[in-house]
Structure 1
Amino acid sequence: MKTFHGANISQHHSRHSNIAVSYRSSSHTRHLAQPPAGAKPLKILSKASVCLIVASGTLAGCTTADPTAYAGLASAHHLKADPSDRSGRVPYRYNSGANWRQYDKVIVDPVTVYRGQDHQFVKVSQQDKNALASYMHSRFTQELRTRFSVVSSPAPGTLRVHLTLTGAKTTMPVLGPFSHLDVGGGVYNAVQAARDKEGSMTGSVAYAVEIYDAMSNTLLSAYVTKQYPNAMNIGASFGALKASQVAIDKGADALLAQLRP
């Protein structure tokens, strides 16, 4: 009986010793796990970077899709897949082989906001659509004026350019700029820039360009395209519509380059 009692005492003492050791070990671990005061923000930033990389990878599949031959366009039945376009920016095009040297004047129609079911607007308000359409008309007119006389009535040697805004995506607030300033987001965007692809969480536009002979109303050229800023363009990530506006600027430059003799 004494031996049994002694064993109980021994086991009881052992359990208390284990508890004491466990408590001391746990306390020591907690003490060691506490980071220095200056290291805490760095740890939080690291977690944010990881979250951003995961989010960027997820949202990359949620960007606006490549443009299509939108059914509601007047030129829809003329548009064909363009095998020469490796960028994916201009997947459908029609070209009659017109000689642009014959034209020195241009009419720029008011920009149409596309309302077909196959539009590619991603949570863009009507107010923002109208703002982008107005900006597009202004920028394209400004750019074309460097090559043509901008007129309002048809005459020999006059082109008529009709633009249709078919899709847009605004920049995500906070995450858009952060994805360009954060280390993890910077790596992702650097890769996207090298591939000439969209940056993370930034805006873009899709639109159609239809070019007519103003006198005969003959379709000379048409294409649908998607434009977006360079993925490393930090400035374009500030403001919901800034990236879309930068994309429109690039589109205006591209059209002017096409129409130069």
Structure 2
Amino acid sequence: MDRSIALRGLGTLVLCVAAAGCASVAPVLYSEMASSAYMAPDKSDASGRVPYRYSTQVDWRAYNKVILDPVVVYRGRDHQFGDMSDKDKATSTDPSGTWLVEDGRTRIRLERCGPSRDRICGFIVWMKEPVDKRGQPYRDSQNPDPDKRARMLLGHQLIMGLQATPEGRFAGDIYNAEDGKSYSVSLWRESPDRLKLRGCLIKILCQTQTWQQTLDVLPGQLVGLTGDLNGPRADKEWAQVPAPKPTPVKGK
């Protein structure tokens, strides 16, 4: 079996959901939107956060039902959301969740990690084929660290503490068990249930994949907390260190 688990050829790729409010920049016409022709300045908004509204010749009294689609933050070239703080961008684009990779063979769980819980780590929590022809679990045999070569691929950490960027993405390193190497990667939520992940060998040699968010649980999927018996295992540098227990004060 081809041992590429989450990175195909060059790397694994992921997506971050953008669900933020409008920024308070001076209103300009939304470009790159099919519906922009139906938008007009919102004179009733004094906050500056909703600069435009839809202006269509619709008699809403003729309707008794509406359908609300998931919100996706507009990312056109006119840069409507350019003055959002880094903290707000990181919050609005949090990619935490379980994702099915593009080839459908692996599920990756992304979650907050690091001492301040401001990084993103990722773990393989399900594999379509977790064992070889002999029924033995696939192991991380190409890892440059000899101590990790016996660990099973199912449950291992492959995304290493990605950091939020000013663009609302997360960037850092991803480990490819196929060749035992790490690659530069960035990921962002393209829509509420789709994640984009862009991996690069060098700056001009990059590949992008789309991951689909999953909410169900498949047979063999790890569902426990990271570090628990039925959960994935963090590399030691990313393992959560329990807070020290307070020392009881003895009364006099």
Structure-1-length-normalised TM-score: 0.25
* The structure with more helix, counted as a fraction of residues: 1
* The structure with more strand, counted as a fraction of residues: 2
Structure-2-length-normalised TM-score: 0.26
Q: Larger radius of gyration, structure 1 or 2?
A: 1
